[in-house]
Structure 1
């Protein structure tokens, strides 16, 4: 059990806004509970809001945060005492208010949101002390029996500051028993010191790189927001290759110069090797990284350093937003349009929107950067809620690539081939010029579907409503939703036919096979989340491409993540229609953003670039907008259509997902919920209906979709709706406010 803060004085005497009687408080544990519980404070123990405490909860010992005054719904005589206060920095008031806000907005339990801010339980323990040894200069060495090892240790410590034992042993060649004997004799003192922060301070004296006039103007505008020291939200709207990163490094520097902390959110931090190198070049240090690839010990150290303020700059995935910042001064959301910022499980939230809220609660600026801003962000700019800083030119001599459309209905690939004759010709020319090319196909594996040509059997996941994807390199069929795997069979399990199993459609592995046969003398690299799974793999990929050890890159959307390859001059999008079909509200917007980002990889150096889009629908407005380079026209049409149908950003959406292991229970619960669905002006409830993925990870799923006018209080409406229905504990109801996925 942790030691308590045994300090005297009145409870909460330093916080006039937080007065209690009978020394009772409310404590919120990081569990999916509706709210905090009341506890008594033992006599003589001082507790303040935000303190991390140990509490009895049922038969277990749990940890939580002092949240506020006791609610008073339980008599004091029935309350249990907290065990003690944990030796870590209290959670700041703004972080607690942020937890409350996110909980209310997402309709997730407060404790479930708090768990994201308390994601490293070990960090709440006192860090292990470090012991260093120094010479006791008041000791009379004449009374000591001297040996050569003792003499070496004493002479070494006499000319050096306090040192750790390992350093002393390494420098003197003495054994640990020698140091121990000198300490027992009194000749050497053992000092206990607090472990230093694992993060160095950024070097703000490094001169910034040369910026263009346009970049300088944008950077000065963003720095002015930092100097104002109040809430603002600014869209840094710059075309691909315009140098947005170097621009927003300037307000980061300004915030660091004020002694503030900064967090930068990246959609795929584990794959951002080039970005991290640019950061190191600009600030001379490694940032504190926060993502799923970071080990537990490093996460513990990072959490503590963020809480005590010694980690000045954090770079991370969406969860980095919930770290307990000591004094946050700036938030940057890079590639703010990315759908990776939407968390679909647990507490369902969009990190971009929560970043704006966190900045508002803390009274600090937030910068949203993108070459293809989301329609929600653009609507906020047009409404005057957000400001905008624009970069309309590529940095240096680079220019935007030209875009060509290939109609695959007339310029047909060979049978069971996917590269058209025109694209093949351009690839040959590119390689002949000593340049690099990229083929983009947003589909992992060898083929998205395998069927039997004898009986028509299709291989489907037993746990999900999804086809199994063939990964020929592994000899397996895999579900990309739940991870289920099966050995690729030789015969059809339905009819037993041999040699009749056929792959349908291409994945990147099949495209790689075609490229190897077509271009046997070039060096080809495949890049997907299957083989580029962390910082080391991403760094190695960047190194090989930069050193021109790769002629052709074949990959999925991870290649759209801001990579800068100066010799890459040709990008071929093998299937530009992929993602355009279906009933997804954001299908067109998402496809436009992805294809624009992919196209932006071409021609980023001093050689012009070309982008080729292979499509069976050249008249599609997404394809036409990319070819014309007319983002504003595309956004105008998309926003107009959203307005006509009252869809975001001109209306509000929410989804209810009812799921369970037993289909009949799920259907029964969905029917009951549907019977009492709300009705009214400016409101439409669709469902219940089977979700497109009606079986996911072994759970049957039914959905409601609620569309409402912007003035409707969606959370209150859903809360009142669900309060009228009782469902069995085996059925789960998830609420998704502002859904981005409709699967």
Structure 2
């Protein structure tokens, strides 16, 4: 019905208020919704909205106003209303800009990036309040029978203290919940509502830390100055293993805490978190808030909500922690910045180190990139002045770098006996170490018992049915396993090819096979395995670490899980079983990664007063990686590696972007790959390589092909990729993933 003014003229209906809501789905843009009359919304508000027949959460990305010309979109009459607003502070403006920036850089849907920022939708709901009780101070009502159980409860409540839950009272008074309920109904106990999720404890920024060396004190002063400046800066903290880099950036965290701001520390792997958390607690008195995939659901909800509410002063986490909605982030630290684990290869493909620098720039805050073996990309940025640089060239406390010996496995006197994997030189050094009451570590970055199982009769190899990968024997669990898709099977009794019985043999060593050999050589030694297969979760890893530190383990055998971040005072010998393992495969970073890994492994030896020794078994002792490790000459190796990359215009002196085409129908995949190759961009500063089968040409049942765009460093690849992909129809059954700045070529 029309509204009339007193003069009889019609008045216009009030304009419809609308908002644009970004949903956590792979959608190209936000959706428009109507704001109900009784609701106030601003940009960043977390809301629930209808989407077809279901309700989903989203974030208000923009609020309509006069002059927005939103009427060109969905008609007002067709807008669905926002259902409700969640009781949370709005997502900070810098977080929303970061979501848009990452989406544009990686060519991902903004909603897919938002999903990483709000990965626990249940955390949006108000946590249920806990019921607790305090004494009311009232006298028992007439006729109230005072039993022994009731007296025990009231005696407990006479003690000054915080409110107690019914479960706590029943446990401490040795009675049933009904006793507590009866006292409350009689008026002798007063109900109190408690937060179900207590606030995280506040780290003590003024708590005294360990005494710093002059080099450490200077480095800490530089990082504190960066925090105090409250402006963007990126600083490489480059220090040898054992130089005390963690204590240095702890001083920057303390400065951030004194400002009342939040600090974020990114670690590449959960395996590093346990010992790091202990060090943090010793320095600041409490543990920080954790964020990683191993957290239970309730802990993830509590952590996300405390971060969003600004109640988490310090957060330590895996790469996804970068996307959480920090209201007042004042510092980011990327520890072990060179680690490949910071690269996410599925979904939104990004490198957390690079995105951390972008997040710091958008927020106007400092970021510290910390490593004993910095990536060539980070070193180049430091050398060109884009990043600052802090050097810690010496081990803390007077410890010296370990002596590195190359064992040439081509020499008859160095070669292991038949069906063995440890050189006599290494086993002799291990015997000397054990005789001295010290500990040894053997490193082989190959899980399981053997990497390959084949038929001795016909040569048939057991391969994963879903991937281009051999099945790895795990003798401890008596299974064959694919390390790419997780497929498992039992070892067949007969060969599927020639039907020979019990003909399968293990080829090559895995850590389990090395452990078997060690048990034969040193039957009295206490041996522990440390791999992601044998230890599930941070607590299991921490248990082994504590046993090694307590000298309940003589020989530690494992993969890269044990290679970095750990400090074992009595560990003086490190043996690398296969130093050449990472050098093949044609990866442009193969030499750099191998150097970084082996340098980190070697750094576990002799970290205190006892000198350390490292033995590297290799068939290529003349390789630049091996020579650099033996001479402790990292800079010479990196200079040579940089010269090679520069000559070929490879990163960091050129740019790469990959298209990965995958699908269950191999013919469809090949056709789309050929169509994309024909439509490839042309130009003097760019080159397109492929299509070619990916090294893992079959992964999880999907056939895979790759194209690689190679350009000069200054070329913006995103517009090229958008135009390229827009020129070719992509079938619904085929997926095309974009990897800007690829780190792996599998």
TM range (shorter): over 0.9
For each residue in 1:336-355, what CA deviation from the matched residue of structure 2 results, as whole angstroms up to 9, or x when unmatched?
00000000001111111111
SS in 2 for 1:451: strand
For each residue in 1:639-695, what CA deviation from the matched residue of structure 2 results, as whole angstroms up to 9, or x when unmatched?
111111111111111100000001011111111111111010110101111111110
Who is 2:121 aligned against? 121
Deviation, 1:453, is 2.5
For each residue in 1:26-58, what CA deviation from the matched residue of structure 2 results, as whole angstroms up to 9, or x when unmatched?
001111111210011011211111111110111
Distance 1:498 1:163, change over 3 A: closer
Task: Name the stretch that deviates more: 191-200 or 442-451.
Answer: 191-200
Distance 1:196 1:703, change over 3 A: closer
SS in 2 for 1:315: strand
Task: Name the stretch that deviates more: 85-94 or 644-653.
Answer: 85-94
Deviation, 1:269, is 2.3
Who is 1:465 aligned against? 468
Q: Residue 591 of structure 1 contacts residue 622 of structure 1 at CA under 8 Å; is this kept in 2? A: yes
Q: Residue 270 of structure 1 contacts residue 293 of structure 1 at CA under 8 Å; is this kept in 2? A: no
Q: Residue 619 of structure 2: which of 616, 619, 631 is its match?
A: 616
Who is 1:165 aligned against? 166
For each residue in 1:462-495, what CA deviation from the matched residue of structure 2 results, as whole angstroms up to 9, or x when unmatched?
1111111111222222111111111112332100
Who is 1:407 aligned against? 408
SS in 2 for 1:366: strand
Alignment of structure 1 residues 304-343 onto 2, 5 Å? 304-343=305-344
Q: Distance in 2 between matches of 1:168 and 1:450?
A: 60
Alignment of structure 1 residues 399-548 onto 2, 5 Å? 399-410=400-411, 411-548=414-551
Alignment of structure 1 residues 8-407 onto 2, 5 Å? 22-70=16-64, 72=71, 73-136=73-136, 145=144, 147-148=146-147, 157=157, 160=160, 162-170=163-171, 176-177=177-178, 179-181=180-182, 183-184=184-185, 186=187, 188-195=189-196, 197-407=198-408
Q: Residue 140 of structure 2 contacts residue 186 of structure 2 at CA under 8 Å; is this kept in 1? A: no
Alignment of structure 1 residues 678-697 onto 2, 5 Å? 678-697=681-700
Who is 1:14 aligned against? none
Deviation, 1:103, is 0.6
TM-score where L is the length of structure 1: 0.94
Q: Residue 55 of structure 1 contacts residue 83 of structure 1 at CA under 8 Å; is this kept in 2? A: yes
Q: Distance in 1 between matches of 2:552 and 2:706?
A: 49
Distance 1:685 1:169, change over 3 A: same
Aligned CA-pair RMSD: 1.9
Q: Residue 673 of structure 1 contacts residue 725 of structure 1 at CA under 8 Å; is this kept in 2? A: yes
Deviation, 1:198, is 4.4
Q: Residue 271 of structure 1 contacts residue 534 of structure 1 at CA under 8 Å; is this kept in 2? A: no
Distance 1:678 1:398, change over 3 A: same
For each residue in 1:308-356, what CA deviation from the matched residue of structure 2 results, as whole angstroms up to 9, or x when unmatched?
1111111111111111212111111110000000000011111111111
SS in 1 for 2:407: strand
**Is the aligned partner of 1:601 residue 2:604?**
yes
Q: Distance in 2 between matches of 1:557 and 1:518?
A: 24
Q: Distance in 1 between matches of 2:171 and 2:581?
A: 61
Structure 2: tracts of 5 or more residues without a match: 1-13, 65-69
For each residue in 1:694-740, what CA deviation from the matched residue of structure 2 results, as whole angstroms up to 9, or x when unmatched?
10000000000111112211111100110011121000000001111
Distance 1:381 1:21, change over 3 A: farther
Structure 1: tracts of 5 or more residues without a match: 1-19
Distance 1:179 1:538, change over 3 A: closer
Deviation, 1:282, is 0.8
Q: Residue 198 of structure 1 contacts residue 301 of structure 1 at CA under 8 Å; is this kept in 2? A: no
TM-score where L is the length of structure 2: 0.94
Distance 1:603 1:140, change over 3 A: closer
Distance 1:720 1:397, change over 3 A: same
**Is the aligned partner of 1:562 residue 2:561?**
no
SS in 1 for 2:398: coil
Aligned length: 723
Q: Distance in 2 between matches of 1:169 and 1:692?
A: 62
SS in 2 for 1:396: helix
Q: Distance in 2 between matches of 1:132 and 1:604?
A: 50
Distance 1:58 1:141, change over 3 A: same
Deviation, 1:152, is 6.3
Distance 1:165 1:106, change over 3 A: same
Distance 1:142 1:724, change over 3 A: closer
Deviation, 1:176, is 4.3
Q: Residue 444 of structure 2 contacts residue 576 of structure 2 at CA under 8 Å; is this kept in 1? A: yes
Q: Residue 238 of structure 2 contacts residue 390 of structure 2 at CA under 8 Å; is this kept in 1? A: yes
Distance 1:459 1:173, change over 3 A: closer
